[in-house]
Amino acid sequence: MLTVNQLIEEFKLEVIAGQEELSKEISEYSLKRPSAELVGYLKHLSPKRIQVYGRTELGLIQQFEDSVRREHLAQVMVAEVPCVIITRGLPIPHEFVELAVERKIPLLTTHRSTTQLFYLLIRYLTNQLAPSTLVHGVLVDVYGVGVLITGESGIGKSEAALELIKSGHLLVADDAVQVRRVDEENLRGTAPSRIRHLMEVRGLGILDVTTLFGAGAVREEKDIQFIVHLEEWQQEKIYDRLGIDPPQTRQILGISIPEITVPVRPGRNLATIIEVAVMQNRLRSVNRQGTASS
């Protein structure tokens, strides 16, 4: 659950009114700049969205006669609104404060521009409110591709990731990956805060990757585009030896991600195999796109 108070702390917003309602829940990641609603078009009001007022909206409100200004604003600032944010540190008409107190709506202000606030808020809310799940595995950025390495405990996921980091690739998360569905096509992975930038390698213990390899060896988040599943070599199982079989897919939060299975046996350099698998999958994607456009 995301609350108004968390939003205030994240963006250093100033509270003007509604201090007693900061535990109010935010449930939608879309925002509302209610210009059309202020002039009476209420069909798409979406009252559960955060309302943002910049120069345009405040200028519009000032055009109304004093006798009807509050009436127009009252149609928009309904009790379901989680909070109202005034941008650029603009002067706040007294009607805002009155309605915020009366309808128990947190009234906030920031010195950020409306455009900048919109960009930051949408990115933050999308990450916080998107459907999510926790996946056991390691997420690394290999040649700009988000690769989720999965497999049974002890199979060598972290060891393979460590080799990749030594080769210049980036760690996102080890052991547990917080996966969020940020839109209809993309999954974004990050590490839970308590294990961020840390790796557990048997025989070495807990490693701080930023201390060992520098801050440039990690990244906070990455879209998941490819899955490499490690499994113990099975003598009776038939593995692809020609490289012509297309990758299978795995569903995570309703989105299909290409996946290959790599058998693990002594002497195999998993890091190199993963690098080549990423390049091969990227080449296949390019070829598919070329075929589709021709």
Other CB atoms within 10 Å distance of the CB of residue 27: 11
- Closest alpha carbon to 138 in 122, 118, 160, 117: 160
154 is in an annotated binding site: yes
CA distances from 221 to 35, 37, 171, 188 (A): 35, 37, 9, 7
List strands edge to edge, sheet with 145-151. 170-173, 138-142, 145-151, 226-232, 255-264, 248-252
- Could you say which of 104, 175, 223, 250 is catalytic? 175
152 is in an annotated binding site: yes
153 is in an annotated binding site: yes
Residue 43 contacts residue 69 (beta carbons within 8 Å): no
200 is in an annotated binding site: yes
Q: Say how far apart CA 216 and CA 171 lie, in whole Å.
A: 10
- Could you say which of 55, 123, 136, 284 is catalytic? 136
157 is in an annotated binding site: yes
Which helix (H) or strand (E) segment is 242 a member of?
none
151 is in an annotated binding site: yes
Q: Say how far apart CA 242 and CA 57 lie, in whole Å.
A: 63
- Tokens representing 150 are 């999965």
Q: Is residue 72 annotated as part of the catalytic site, yes or no?
A: no
256 is in an annotated binding site: no
Q: Is residue 123 annotated as part of the catalytic site, yes or no?
A: no
Q: Is residue 157 annotated as part of the catalytic site, yes or no?
A: yes
Active site residues: 136, 157, 175, 241
Binding residues are: 151-158, 200
